[in-house]
Every structure is written in structure tokens, then in C-alpha cells.
Chain A
Amino acid sequence: MRTTRRKNNLLAKIWHHPQGQVGLILAGLLVFAAVAAPWITPFDPYDVTQRAEKGLAPGWPHLLGTSISTGQDIFSMLIYGARVSLLVGIVTGLAIAFLGAFMGILAGYGGRFWDTLIMRLVDVMLVIPTLPLTIVLTNLFGKSYGMIIFIFTIFGWVGLARVIRSQVLVLKSSNYIKAAQLAGASRRYIMFRHILPGVSNLLIMSTALTSAGIMVAEAGLSFLGLGDPTAISWGKMLAEAQSGGALLFGHWWWIIAPGIGIFLSVFAFMRIGLALEEVFNPRMKRSGMLLRLFKSINGSYIQEVFDAMDDRPETDEAGKEAAP
């Protein structure tokens, strides 16, 4: 019960944050597009019988024209592309949050052995060139989105685990956890009752931001032809546009459309992430808002505030003037 109420509160808080609102609306639209794609697209891009004349310019009924190579409807592909982007982005974001939290808490609270082991692992992961290794692994294990999510997760937890670990170390030295330890609480109890709630804000925030980052990475990988070859994704659309001659023939819409798709999804999740950061960490917010307010505050109102501070002469004659 309590958690649902908190979650609703959180959503409401993002909604009331001007930038978070933009993010939520955009993300909502994208989720709608992804879920309702078969019903809202004018053509089925997967259906070979629905291909039109190749290389049409934007118009009716092909709102964004058709591709030069296959004659697929670009607008429909754009809508379908949201599925891959959101699926890979959100699932990987969640997976990284779980793995990162697990590793971070284990390193921070699991004792010296785990700490050393995990931090060595982190140092190794940091020097391994991510993109080349991802290329090698997708080549070895086959090109599917499940594989891509797996590989992104394997590489993505490192940064989060480090942040979580340092947060856990701060928590561990805090008095209320020491008090709980003295009171005889078990490690497991402290872990779930104190440590996990203590890092949950960080986790929620980073899930949104990681998802945004993963969406960019997925687009890049699909662009290199390492995504699922049968699915429609924005990165793959860009690759097809490039190899199909969109640049050469000046078919800008074929490039801009998937670009806007990538931009909107990444932008939406970044906004949500940053809004969460400010909701959780109001000190950051105040500094920004303060300055905006400073410009708009009314000079005469400020004067009133200052004037109101003065001692008002009382009926009593023993005023301040009587002081030597």
C-alpha cells in the first residue's frame, strides 16, 4: 500500500516539475505509439504486399514518403521504431539498475572480499573498449535484441555500481545504521530496511538516465547493422537511408524522421531523469529557480518586506530613541 502511494506521489512530483512534465508527455506519446503501432500506422512496414513506389517524397498517403531501397512507408517505420527503442531502453535500464544495485551494495556492505573483487572487476570493465567488444559478442552470439540487452547490461552496471557503493559507504557510517547495528538488527534486515531505501532515489533516477543513454547506444548498434536484422529500428532506418542513397538524392525526410524519433525518446527520458534528480535533491533546484525569481521579483514588494522589519513605535513611550 505504502509503496504504491509513494509511487503515485513521485509521478505527481515529476508531473509538477515543468521539465519533467515535458518528459512524461513525450514518453507517454512514445509508449502509445509503440503499443498501438499496428492500429495507428497507415501501412504495415513488415508486409511486403504493402510496399509502394520506391523513393516517394512526403505526401498523401505516404506522409513521410517511401524508402528508396524497398518502398516501405517511412512514417509507419518511424512509429514501429519506437518499439525497439523503448523496449531495449527501458528493459536494459531496469536490468542495469538491478545489477548495479546488487553489485554496489555487495561491494559497499558485503565486506572486504566482495568489495575488492567487485572494484577490481570495475577497473577491468572500464578499460575494455565497450563498442568493439559489443560488436564481437553480437557477432558471436547472434543478432537479437535479447542479446543486445544482455550485453548492454553486462557493460552498463559499472558506473552505477560505483555510485551506489559510495552512497552505501556514506549510509554505513551514518548514525542511524550504527544504532540499528547496536540494537542487534541482522545484516539482512539492515540491508533491506535501511540500505536499499537509502539508495532507491539514486536507482530510480539513474534508471531514467541510463535508459536514455541505452537508447542512443542501441541506435548506434543498429546503425552498424548489429541489431536484429528482421526488426524495424531507428538506427537501422538511418543505415538503410545512408546505404539506400538518401544523402545522394537529398531525401532529407528519410534521415530526419528516424533522427527525430531517437531525439524524442532520449530527450523524454533525460527530462524525466533530470526532473527526478531535482525532486530528490531540492537544493539543486533552488539554485536554478532562485535566479529566475530574482529577476521577476517586484522591487516595491521587496521594499515593503524591508520596511516591515522596522520597529514600530508602540503606544508605550519607552521607545528605542530612549536608548543612550
Chain B
Amino acid sequence: MSQDALLLVEGLKVIFPTDAGIIKAVEGIDLAIHPGECLALVGESGCGKSVSSLAILGLLGTPPALVRAQTIRFDGQNLQALNEQQMAQIRGKDIAMIFQDALTALNPVMSIGRQLDEVFLKHCGMNKSQAKEASIEALRAVGVSSPAQRYRQFPHQLSGGMRQRVLIAMAFAASPKLIIADEPTTALDVTIQMQVLEELRAMQRKSGTALMLITHDLSVVNYLADRILVMYSGKIVETGPVKQILKRPAHPYTEGLLTSVPRLDTCNTRFYQIPDQVPNPMNKPSGCHFHPRCSYAGELCKQTMPSLRSLSPQREVRCHFPLQKGEGGDSQHA
């Protein structure tokens, strides 16, 4: 499984030492993305999903962050061994990123055309006029209307949906092998969200790019992703194929996430909420980090952190009392 992975991450840990204590943002996660696949990283804000992606690309400032990992391998290369200059060759060309808030993610004093050109100039060996043509073409490809005009405009002159399309165009510009999309539609209106998602899916299908989708929105996951990886408080709590997990979640946290999504197809008028909040990353609960919020928690959960164990060949869960019985699991609910 890990041999043919495009991106393989093992034991990724990120901490932020501060004067008030050490923030444990990511506590050792493993993930693998295969060519053309869409992997969704799901969790509440503050669970460490964005930090993980920035750490993989070497975009976290050190300081303030400290990053450790056993393996970060992309396409046969050990990313940890590369210097900043070599990393810059990979960013944008082999791995591109789409950020959440397109207004702050675009340089306000540069025309969007110039910002797109930069990618073509840097990675595709084009000259200025070729880059301009390619940029206009890229804008057209993501459904930006009158791309030649938009090329000259500045980010503040575009609508939110248009800006997000610009970011998508920018990410696909150098036909990367992997795109990391960090909450690509969260800042948008629901109607625009759908259009942008469709654009993203079409582009991904067309180019065969692998996608790492970071989101807290399970409907987006359902729409785009093949596999899902649920994170809670810096750890992976459940992973497996989207269909199986959404239908039959094994971790109480995943179940909580699912039942807190309002559904139109059931008559349940009660709206479930996971009680309390994500634990303070400086002072996490003992044992399973989720136990204070978990309705199934037993004495064991307060004392020891469960390890990630396999339920079926494709599914893993980090729970002493998983909700689904797998071949390996033998525990019952307390």
C-alpha cells in the first residue's frame, strides 16, 4: 500500500512552544495518498489538519513551529532532506495548494494575472507573453467569465467565487501531481460553494491530479473524496473509504460529526451537537483525548490512549470501544 503511494507521511508531529506552554498541534499522523485519489482530512478547527498540510510542504515557520516526522516521501523523494530552494521547485509544480480565504490568500496589490503568471514563469519555462496566454487560458478553464479582462484586475475587484476559481486555476497551473485544498469552499455562499466544488472536481477528474482535501464539511467530503481520515486533537481517530465511514462510523467522534449534519431525508427534528469543545491543545485530557465528550467512554478511556487498530483491510479506528465490529475488534460497548 505504501509502496505505490504518491505522498507518504509517517509519524508527523508538530508542536508550538510558547511562554504559556507547549501547544501539541499534531501528535504523530500517518497518511498515504495514491495518484489520482482524493483523500479527505476531516475534523473540527484546531484539530491540526491545516498545520499538517503546511508542515508537509515545509511552509510552517520554524520558529514558531517544531516539526518532526519519520517519513515525508513524495514521488520517491524525501522532502525532509531538501533545502528551501529544492522545496520551492516542488511547491507549485508537483504539489500545489488552494487556501481557504481567497481574499487574504491573494496579494492585494498585484493583478491576478501577474500572480498566475508567476507560476508559469517559474515552473513551465515560459516567457512573459506565453505566460499571459496560459494564464488567460487557465482562467477560462475554471469558468472565469471574460478571462482577458479579469487578468488585469485586482483581487478586491472580483467576487468571492471568482477569487476562489483564481486560486484553483493557480493550483492546477503547472499540472501538479498533488493538490492540497485547505477548506476550499468554506468562505463561500452555499450556492457558489457547489459551483466551485464542481469546478474543482471536473479539473481533478480531467487532470488525474491527486487531491488532499482538508475540511470540516462532510457534504463536501461525500461529494469529492474517495478516502477519509478523521482527525481529533492532533491524532487520527478513524480512516477508511468514504462510503463505509459515512454509512457506518466506528469512532464515536465520527458518529458525532455525522449526526450534527442536518439531514433532509429523515424526520428527526432534534439536532445533535457534540458536547463541549475541542480540548485545549496545551493541556489535553489524559487517556483518549475524546473521552470527556464521548457518551460511550468507560474507565479505560480515561487512563490509556487507544492505538489505531484495523477494523477491516481498509479501515482503522482509534477507540477502545468502536461502534462497528471489525475482524480485529473484539470489544463491546461499556
- Residue ranges of A at the interface with B (Cβ–Cβ < 8 Å): 286-287, 289-294, 297, 302, 305-306, 309-314, 318-320, 322-324
A323 with B15: in contact, given A290-B64, A314-B304, A318-B329 (CB under 8 Å)? Answer: no
Q: Is the CB of B309 within 8 A of A302?
A: no
CB distance from A293 to the nearest CB of B (A): 5
Q: Is the CB of B306 within 8 A of A314?
A: yes
Per-position binary interface string of chain B over residues 106-126, scored 1 when its CB falls under 8 Å from any chain A CB and 0 otherwise? 000000000000000000000
CB distance from B303 to the nearest CB of A (A): 11
Q: Is the CB of A302 within 8 A of B307?
A: no
A309 with B309: in contact, given A290-B19, A314-B304 (CB under 8 Å)? Answer: no
Of A289, A312, A320, A323, the contact of B18 (CB 8 Å cutoff): A289
A320→B29 CA distance, assembly (Å):
12
Q: Which of B129-153 contact A (CB under 8 A)?
A: none
A322→B13 CA distance, assembly (Å):
22
Which A residues touch B329, using CB under 8 A?
318
Q: Is the CB of B19 within 8 A of A323?
A: no
A324→B312 CA distance, assembly (Å):
9
Q: Is the CB of A297 within 8 A of B309?
A: no
Q: Is the CB of A293 within 8 A of B309?
A: no
Q: Is the CB of A293 within 8 A of B304?
A: no
Per-position binary interface string of chain B over residues 1-44, scored 1 when its CB falls under 8 Å from any chain A CB and 0 otherwise? 10000000001010101110010100110000000000000000
Per-position binary interface string of chain B over residues 304-334, scored 1 when its CB falls under 8 Å from any chain A CB and 0 otherwise? 1111111001001000000000001110000
Q: Which of B155-197 contact A (CB under 8 A)?
A: none
CB distance from B61 to the nearest CB of A (A): 10
Q: Is the CB of A324 within 8 A of B19?
A: no
Per-position binary interface string of chain B over residues 283-319, scored 1 when its CB falls under 8 Å from any chain A CB and 0 otherwise? 0000000000000000000001111111001001000
A291→B13 CA distance, assembly (Å):
20
Q: Is the CB of B18 within 8 A of A290?
A: yes
Q: Is the CB of B28 within 8 A of A311?
A: yes
A305→B330 CA distance, assembly (Å):
32
- Residue ranges of B at the interface with A (Cβ–Cβ < 8 Å): 1, 11, 13, 15, 17-19, 22, 24, 27-28, 63-64, 66, 68, 234, 304-310, 313, 316, 328-330
Q: Is the CB of A289 within 8 A of B19?
A: yes
CB distance from A315 to the nearest CB of B (A): 9
A319→B22 CA distance, assembly (Å):
28
Besides A302-B15, A310-B28, A314-B307, 7 new A-B residue pairs in contact (Cβ under 8 A), listed by A number: A289-B18, A290-B18, A305-B15, A306-B15, A309-B27, A313-B307, A324-B313
18 contacts between A and B (CB under 8 A): A287-B64, A290-B18, A291-B63, A292-B19, A297-B17, A302-B22, A305-B15, A305-B24, A306-B13, A310-B28, A311-B305, A311-B308, A318-B309, A320-B309, A322-B309, A322-B328, A323-B308, A324-B310
Q: Is the CB of A309 within 8 A of B307?
A: no
Which B residues touch A286, using CB under 8 A?
18-19
A84→B63 CA distance, assembly (Å):
47
Q: Is the CB of A309 within 8 A of B24?
A: yes
Residue of A nearest to B329 (CB): A318
A305 with B22: in contact, given A290-B17, A322-B328 (CB under 8 Å)? Answer: yes
Which B residues touch A318, using CB under 8 A?
309-310, 328-330
Which B residues touch A323, using CB under 8 A?
308-310, 316
A319→B234 CA distance, assembly (Å):
19
Q: Is the CB of B307 within 8 A of A311?
A: yes
A305→B313 CA distance, assembly (Å):
32
Which B residues touch A289, using CB under 8 A?
18-19
Q: Is the CB of B63 within 8 A of A322?
A: no
Q: Is the CB of A322 within 8 A of B310?
A: yes
Residue of B nearest to A286 (CB): B18
CB distance from B288 to the nearest CB of A (A): 12
Q: Is the CB of A293 within 8 A of B310?
A: no
A312 with B304: in contact, given A318-B329, A324-B313 (CB under 8 Å)? Answer: yes
Which B residues touch A312, using CB under 8 A?
304-305, 307
A320 with B307: in contact, given A293-B18, A302-B66, A306-B13 (CB under 8 Å)? Answer: yes
CB distance from A206 to the nearest CB of B (A): 26
A286→B23 CA distance, assembly (Å):
13
CB distance from B97 to the nearest CB of A (A): 24
Q: Is the CB of A309 within 8 A of B63?
A: no
Which A residues touch B316, using CB under 8 A?
323
A86→B79 CA distance, assembly (Å):
60
